[in-house]
Every structure is written in structure tokens, then in C-alpha cells.
Amino acid sequence: MTVPGKVRVPGTFNVIGGPNAAGGGKGEIADGAVVDLGVLAPGEFRFLRFHADSLAGIDTPTFVHIFEDTTPPANGFSILLSRASREKVIERNLLELAGLLKRVAELDHNREATRHAERTTEAFRKPTEESFHEYLKINRTGISSITAAHLHLAKSPADIFGVTDAEKNLWKAAAEHNTDQALLALTELIERLDDQITSETRKAAKH
């Protein structure tokens, strides 16, 4: 992992799934840190979670690069860290949630998810803190129902991506009218449920 210059990003990463997840697959985000995936069989895959505790020191958009440990590096990816207004984050999150709900609707043949995707698409066009909290209040029951139905259909032995925890955090923050925490929890819910679905579809494709 490379973090440029004097940039400090307080936060952590961890490997989700696989025998190495509970061991060396954890660490702090820092220049020179090593992400240990363990030994992967052909076609096997892992998910990585990066969590920044704060972007207080990020004054301009900053890339964190993660490269395969080969000479020269053959594969890799980058994470762009940037700060934005609450309104921009609300807009982005609702747009991504709408896309995720459409994905759930197609995969689960869930008409309720289709309806909520349409509602969410409309909501993101008027991004204010008050409209965001009103959206969460009105749609809480529907979103919870869609998430629960998908996890039930997935029949996963364990919620390894922590979808349930992210949703609990979302409704707790919404009840407290804490916009920043609600946005963080919604981001996590979107990413974790999306990863859950991706994991399911990849496993199905292998069979």
C-alpha cells in the first residue's frame, strides 16, 4: 500500500472471508502496509474493507494505491479519498442506493425493491438534510423488509459482510437525527449488501 507524502489516514483495513481473514488480513492504513490475502486457489476471491476514521487531513483529493507484491506490480487498484458537502454525499448515497435496490429487485424478483428504487431515485434529486431524514423515516420499513428478504433468500451461513450491523447503525443514527452517522451507516449498508450480492453471484457462476 502506498499513501502519498505526509498524508495520514487514520483507519483500518481487513480481509473478509477465507481462512486468513481472522489472522494477518488486518492492519492500519499506512504507507508501506501489507494486505495479506493468504494463499488463493485458482478462481478464488477475497473482499477487502477499508475504513477511514477521519478525512480531516485530506485537503485535496488523494489516492491510496494498493498493488500486487510483484516486480513490477502486475495488478492493483486505487482508492480516491475526498471530502464533500453533506448534500453531495446525500445525493451520491441515494443514487447508489437506488442502483442497489434495482439490483436486488432483479436478483430476487422483488417488486417492492423496484418501487423503492423509483422512490429513491426521486429523493436524490432534492438532497437536503431534512429531506434525507424524511426519506429514511418514510422508507425504513420497506428497506428493512427488502434487506431481510434478500438475506433470507441468500441462505448464507453467516452475515460475513455485516449487512445487519450496518442497517442497525443506520436506523439508530436516523432516530438520533445524526446526519453524519446516518450517511456513514448508509454507505456501509450499500457497500456491504452489494458485496454480499456480488459474492453470491460469483459463487453461483462457478457452479
- Every domain of the chain and the residues it spans: 11-81, 86-206
| pLDDT beyond 70 at 18 | no
Mean pLDDT computed over 18-45: 77
| pLDDT beyond 70 at 72 | yes
Place of cell 450496518: 166
Share of the chain above pLDDT 90, in %: 62
Share of the chain above pLDDT 70, in %: 93
- The grid coordinates listed for 177 are 437525527
Mean pLDDT computed over 3-23: 77
User: What's the whole-number average pLDDT of the chain?
Assistant: 89
Q: What is the pLDDT of residue 112?
A: 96
Q: What is the pLDDT of residue 207?
A: 58
Q: What is the pLDDT of residue 201?
A: 86
Q: What is the pLDDT of residue 19?
A: 55
- The grid coordinates listed for 11 are 483507519
| pLDDT beyond 60 at 165 | yes
Split at pLDDT 50, 70, 90, the class of 103 is very high
Q: If you write DSSP's letter for every residue of the chain in order, what string do you get?
A: -B--TT----EEEEEESSTTTTTTSEEE--TT------PPPTT---EEEEEES--TT--S-EEEEEE-SSSS---EEEEEE----HHHHHHHHHHHHHHHHHHHHHHHT-HHHHHHHHHHHHHTTS--HHHHHHHHHHHHHHHHHHHHHHHHHHT-SS-TT-HHHHHHHHHHHHHTT-HHHHHHHHHHHHHHHHHHHHHHHHHHHH-
Q: What is the pLDDT of residue 176?
A: 97
Summarize pLDDT for 110-133 with one digit per residue, the tens: 999 999 999 999 988 878 999 999
Q: Cis before residue 127, ω within 30 degrees of 0?
A: no
Mean pLDDT computed over 32-47: 85
Q: What is the pLDDT of residue 206?
A: 64
The model carries a pTM of 0.88
| pLDDT beyond 70 at 99 | yes
- When computed from its CA atoms, the radius of gyration of the chain, rounded to whole angstroms, is 18
